[in-house]
Amino acid sequence: MTKEEIRQQIWRLMEAKGVVRFPGAVGRIPNFTGAELAARQLQKSPVWQSARVIKSNPDSPQREVRHLALKEGKIVYMAVPRLRSPRCFIELDPARIKANLYHASSIKGAFKYGKSVLPQEVKGIELVVCGSVAVNTQGARVGKGGGYSDLEYALLTEMGKISPRTPIVTTVHPLQMVNFPMQMKVHDIPVDYIITPEELITTHTSFPRPPGVCWDLLDKEKLELIPILKILKPQSRMEST
């Protein structure tokens, strides 16, 4: 199946089984029943406990992950939706937040209480949390189709903020796990760990990670609409000559 066919299958399945909460599944990283339990399952893992700085997606099913991180004093970075600002990451430092941390873990709260920073200003990331529509135990992942999680990872890798050893995890409902191969391209990020409400699965993935921004594969629309790409691309070209 194509990635879009996989998305449609998972979205329909989750809605049919009644495991999706507001705002629904189609076109999104599904906000699944049990997301909080999956966050607590992640909280028990060594990769979580050793991480002091986390990069998380901003979607609803990972909100409890962000909340738990802030409660434990971890710094959390979230991307500005669609990377629409040059300061395209929001830094949430619980030491500086004078508000309810659960509120700060939402997208609206992050903008209110967080600090917008350039990729160059991000601290070294020790754990990457991403949302998924579908995953398999080989570490292949399908997102909602925009490619932003992959691009955010690539930008921070380009800036030296994420290393090839930084663990990548995703929290999902068991229905989001598939048992067939999924196509992975050079710009796609694989996952090292899959966390459901019941278990943590180590993928031992053999898929390579993007070494940075794949400039030749970026479409013209992204290059035009994402300010940080306009800033960084000339610099990248100069360094490669």
- Tens digit of each residue's pLDDT (9 = 90 or more) over 4-41: 999 999 999 999 999 999 988 999 999 999 999 999 99
d(CA 186, CA 238): 23
Single-letter amino acid code for the residue at 152: E
Q: What is the mean pLDDT of residues 130-147?
A: 96
Q: Is the pLDDT of residue 220 over 90?
A: no
Res. 237: pLDDT tops 80: no
Q: Which of 142, 139, 140 is nearest to 9 (CA)?
A: 142
Domains (range + CATH), the chain: 3-240 (3.40.50.10420)
pLDDT for the residue numbered 238: 43
Span 150-159, mean pLDDT?
96
The pLDDT assigned to 167 comes to 98
Backbone angles phi, psi at 117, to 5 degrees: -135, 155
CA nearest to 173, candidates 199, 144, 196, 194: 196
Rounded-to-integer distance, Cα 68 and Cα 55, Å: 13
Cα dihedral 109, 76, 157, 171 in deg (nearest 10): -90
What single letter denotes the amino acid at residue 130?
C
**Which residues are within 8 A (CB) of 43 and not within 5 positions of it... i.e. 6 or more apart?**
49, 68
SS3 200: strand
- pLDDT score, position 235: 53
- What confidence category does residue 233 fall into, taking pLDDT thresholds of 50, 70 and 90? confident
To the nearest whole percent, how much of the chain has pLDDT over 70? 97
Q: What is the pLDDT at residue 178?
A: 98
Which residues touch 213 (CB under 8 Å, ≥6 apart)?
Answer: 151, 154, 155, 158, 229, 232, 236
Closest C-alpha among 139, 141, 142 to residue 205: 139
pTM of full prediction above 0.75: yes
d(CA 118, CA 87): 4
Q: What is the DSSP letter of 192?
A: S
CB distance 80 to 87 below 8 Å: yes
Q: What is the pLDDT of residue 236?
A: 46
- Residue in the structure block whose two tokens are 């930084």: 166
Q: What is the pLDDT of residue 196?
A: 98
CA pair distance 128, 33, nearest whole angstrom: 22
